[in-house]
């Protein structure tokens, strides 16, 4: 102890080599005597390990947990032959039957008892009085190994009225440093650990259920079940072997946190918006999993003394936040801002990526206290493309917390844009009040660029300088009350226009010198007098 992260088992086990044996053991159907049952199971088993495996497989798939007997122990027999014939028992009976079957097979086996963090366990609770669970140790290859066939066979529902067979490989020859997580034997020698843990250690240690390890997760911080906030904040991180997706719930919602995915895990900062005790659950699933199901892998209690009101996040913020291996897979490479939060003092920021092939991007800005229409939300963001680089230039309409949402689709797809990820943008400067960018029309090509004027709102009665980067066109005009041509030099179209006497200014292009037809590409508003 602590676990060296090498293997989930206490000896090398190749599960593929067991496939035939497992399938055989499941089919054995002998109920009249334990001796006959063991004899039948051992027909296909040569080594001691194979014998133990066959016995384990049979018990895990044929004995169900007796929820009725658990509530009414006087009616219950844990004698191995009764367990075999009724096909049901509680942990005591599972462990007793296992011990007797091993003994018939000529394998040393012990029945152990102790405390467990199983059904009904409450985080942070203490353990007193009699032991509440039983399991086994078997002697293989010169060492003792631990297993729990009760927990290997399945689980009971929350109301403890129904048992469901659900085989769990985790509890077969579990590494002792992992077994101690939820099994504390009466005799500490049977922890099979150096150093042994005290009951206090066992009570305080974080409960990692088997999902945690089966999903390839390695460690979680903090390692205690109760976390106290410091200045309204608590942090949790998880390390894992391979790309894993995470979600969380604090008191049933994911609004009050900021979760970022890391290559080998995740980091979560929690900012509860109420004082008191809150349950925090963390869920995970492998990135390759097709189904939507996340498994609960960790539970904490967060004790919150004070609330940090400044860290109240917009409703539209979606977890996880910021770029990650996941957004890279979607074609957003080399982000200029690797962190989930972008702070801006003057209300402006610019986010760049290298884009994968054939990707079209859509971005929008959201905030809780904003009256912006859908269209204006997009117009506070300007996309600039240079080769395979995209820049998102953002001018905030006011101070506060904003969500920058980024969507994408394949250019070759006609369908909708898919949501990819989001950033949190914060601005505390109450002076900030940027107008939207000019409105662009469909003829404004992706790789065109506005150098000036960037503001979609022009001053009245002024000469305004225009500088636009456009290619493949014959003529550019700016139409205010009068029409002003722009001249081309070194790839830019430049010139001035006067805004007197008009409310709107349009930029128009002639795609072909022989046509008299102009297309609108940009529209500016003019300030009222």
Q: Which two three-digit tokens encode residue 463?
A: 């000469």
CB 305 within 8 A of CB 229: yes
Contacts of 313 (CB under 8 A, 6+ apart): 255, 256, 258, 271, 401, 424
- The question of whether 133 is a catalytic residue gets the answer yes
- The whole-angstrom separation of Cα 296 and Cα 299 is 8
Burial of residue 267, with CB atoms counted within 10 A of its CB: 0-12 exposed, 13-18 middle, 19 or more buried: middle
SS (H, E, C) 289-332: CCCCCCEEEEEEEEEECCCCHHHCCCCCCCCCCCCCHHHHHCCE
- The question of whether 148 is a catalytic residue gets the answer yes
Residue from 60, 91, 102, 240 carrying the catalytic annotation: 91
- The whole-angstrom separation of Cα 93 and Cα 81 is 10
Contacts of 497 (CB under 8 A, 6+ apart): 463, 464, 466, 478, 480, 482, 484, 505
Please spell the DSSP secondary structure of 167-190, one letter per residue. Answer: --GGGEEE-HHHHTTTEEESSGGG
Residue from 133, 175, 183, 256 carrying the catalytic annotation: 133
Q: What are the CA-CA distances from residue 389 to residues 321, 352, 498 (Å)?
A: 22, 7, 34
Whether residue 151 has a cis bond before it, omega within 30° of 0: no
Q: What crossing angle do the helices spanning 34-42 and 48-62 adopt, rounded to 10°?
A: 120
Contacts of 26 (CB under 8 A, 6+ apart): 57, 58, 61
- The question of whether 418 is a catalytic residue gets the answer no
Residues linked to residue 169 through DSSP beta bridges, in sequence order: none
Q: Are strands 519-526 and 483-489 parallel, antiparallel or unpaired?
A: unpaired
Q: How many CB atoms lie within 10 A of CB 281?
A: 17
CB 116 within 8 A of CB 182: yes
Give the residue ranges of DSSP H helices in 348-503: 374-379
Beta strands in 85-151 (DSSP E): 88-89, 109-116, 133-140, 143-147
Sheet with 226-228, strands from edge to edge, namely 226-228, 295-304, 276-286, 244-250
Residue positions annotated with a catalytic role: 91, 133, 148
């Amino acid at each position: 102890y602590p676990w060296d992260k090498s293997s989930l088992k206490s000896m090398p086990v190749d599960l593929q080599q067991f496939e035939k044996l497992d399938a055989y053991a499941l089919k054995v159907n002998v109920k009249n005597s334990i001796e006959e049952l063991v004899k039948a199971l051992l027909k296909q088993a040569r080594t001691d390990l194979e014998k133990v495996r066959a016995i384990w497989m049979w018990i895990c798939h044929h004995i169900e947990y007796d929820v009725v007997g658990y509530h009414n122990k006087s009616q219950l027999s844990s004698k191995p032959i009764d367990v075999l014939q009724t096909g049901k028992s509680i942990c005591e009976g599972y462990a007793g039957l296992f011990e007797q079957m091993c003994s018939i097979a000529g394998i040393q086996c012990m029945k152990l008892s102790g405390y467990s963090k199983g059904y009904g366990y409450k985080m942070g609770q203490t353990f007193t009085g009699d032991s509440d669970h039983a399991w086994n140790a078997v002697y293989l290859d010169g060492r003792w190994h631990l297993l729990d066939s009760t927990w290997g066979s399945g689980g009971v529902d929350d109301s403890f009225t129904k048992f469901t067979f659900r085989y769990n490989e985790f509890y077969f020859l579990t590494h002792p440093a992992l077994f101690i997580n939820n099994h504390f034997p009466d005799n500490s020698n049977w922890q099979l650990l150096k150093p042994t843990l005290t009951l206090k250690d066992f009570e305080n240690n974080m409960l990692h259920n088997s999902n945690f390890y089966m999903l390839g997760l390695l460690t979680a911080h903090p390692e205690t079940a109760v976390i106290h906030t410091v200045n309204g904040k608590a942090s949790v991180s998880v390390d894992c072997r391979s790309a894993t997706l995470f979600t969380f719930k604090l008191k049933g919602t994911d609004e009050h946190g900021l979760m970022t995915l890391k290559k080998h895990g995740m980091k979560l900062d929690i900012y509860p918006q109420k004082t008191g005790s809150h349950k925090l659950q963390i869920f995970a699933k492998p990135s390759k999993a097709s189904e939507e199901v996340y498994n609960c892998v960790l539970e904490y209690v967060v004790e919150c003394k004070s609330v940090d009101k400044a860290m109240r996040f917009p409703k539209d913020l979606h977890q996880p936040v910021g770029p990650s291996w996941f957004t890279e897979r979607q074609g957003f490479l080399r982000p200029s801002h690797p962190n989930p939060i972008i702070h801006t003092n003057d209300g402006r920021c610019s986010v760049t990526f290298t884009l994968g092939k054939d990707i079209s991007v859509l971005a929008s800005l959201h905030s809780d206290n904003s009256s912006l229409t859908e269209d204006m939300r997009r117009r506070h963001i300007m996309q600039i493309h240079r080769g395979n680089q995209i820049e998102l230039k953002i001018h905030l309409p006011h101070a506060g917390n904003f969500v920058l949402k980024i969507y994408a689709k394949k250019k070759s797809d006609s369908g909708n844009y898919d949501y990819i990820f989001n950033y949190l943008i914060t601005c505390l400067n109450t002076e900030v009040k940027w107008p939207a960018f000019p409105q662009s029309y469909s003829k404004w090509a992706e790789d065109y660029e506005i150098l000036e004027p960037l503001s979609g709102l022009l001053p009245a009665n002024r000469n305004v300088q225009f500088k636009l980067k456009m290619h493949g066109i014959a003529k550019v005009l700016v139409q205010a009350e009068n029409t002003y041509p722009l001249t081309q030099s070194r790839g830019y179209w430049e010139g001035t226009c006067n805004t007197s006497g008009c409310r709107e200014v349009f930029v128009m292009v002639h795609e072909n010198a022989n046509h008299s037809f102009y297309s609108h590409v940009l529209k500016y508003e003019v300030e009222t007098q």
